[in-house]
Structure 1
Amino acid sequence: MALSERDALLSTRLGRAWPHAALLDALRLSGHADVLDVGAGTGDLLRTLRAAGHTGRLEGLDTAPHGTVRAGDAHALPYPEGTFDAVLLVRVFMHLQDPAAALREAERVRRPGGQVIVAAHGPAHLQALRHSAGEIPDAHDTLLEHLRALGAAPRSQVLTWSVTLTRTDASTLLPGVTFDPRALPATWPDTLSLVVHTLQP
């Protein structure tokens, strides 16, 4: 199942768009900030911002363009220096071929005083479900370690939200894992989590 389909399920369980609405509520970006979403996919995050009344410039970039999201490479952003107040890399950083180059590009197009925001699922994400599948979540924040190795000194925060999952959610959220329905309760409390690193001068 595609990530977008899993996100849709988690949005239903959370009661608001996952992860975009939850993340943007926590970030509290200025309503007039010029924002670049690197690895924007289908542009859901930018649509969420616009629907919330955001009036600043919104740009999305992805290797697979879709709608208003333009084609582009995170390692060579097609923008002049100092174009954006916020550059977002959400659930994409660890998939980049050269994270150091992508981070340099994000820093280059950030305006003085602006932010580069890198977010990824945290170790607590779907922790109870993963435990029931025999998966032990990584206890280390490898993204933070990677950023530090690149010389970045981010301000970091762990965002968590409580959800109730159902037995039928299990195979959808962990594709490739076979669950014995009798081993799972009908419903159980779990956690959605993002680790957010903000780089700001």
Structure 2
Amino acid sequence: MNLIIIHKNKSSAAGGVNDLLRFAVSSEPLTGVVLDGLSKNLCLDGDTNAVVAIPEGWSIETRAATPKMMAYAKNVPICSELLRKIKRNSWLIVSNGRFATRVDGELLHKVLAGVQADVVAVNVEPELLGKREKVRLTAQGKVAGFRRLYSDAAEPAPFPADWPHHIFVKTNVLDRAFVDQTLPQSFSDFINKVPIKRINAASD
């Protein structure tokens, strides 16, 4: 299952009329188009079930849109019914709804199978796509050379400062990840609950 969270914008313009994403999610017929696109960004093992969490206060003309939508104030609530659905799968995918990304499913399977971790953070990088060259830098930030990729790739990554594009959570650690059946809005609060691995993966 994919839990797509549209995180609150921390900039001074947050919640204003210039917030394009808020406008798109709040206005028919754009609502259905945007949410349908977000729900199809990433699916694992053919599971297309998705729930979209939006900030409380956003005016939504219809809640009948697919995929299912829910509002949150501070932390994102994970109700018992949703937890039961999540536990039917091996992984829960928590996606950052402020980014539209696409990752090859076969590559994801290889990454998740090879990483010994219960929680994996994934950011997508176009420069890791096959048939491209990637600049390699020294520890001092100088160009060391170029690496040509012949197929889509993934690599360990620095720890992100904020919510990455996707987080994969093994369903057997959900009780530790979601204390009081909520997902904290703060990324630092979340990573203090469970060990996490960081990966960059190819995306177009």
Establish whether TM, by shorter chain, passes 0.5.
Answer: no
TM-score (norm 2): 0.26
* Structure with greater contact order relative to length (CA < 8 Å, sep ≥ 6): 2
Whose helix fraction is larger, Structure 1's or Structure 2's? Answer: 1
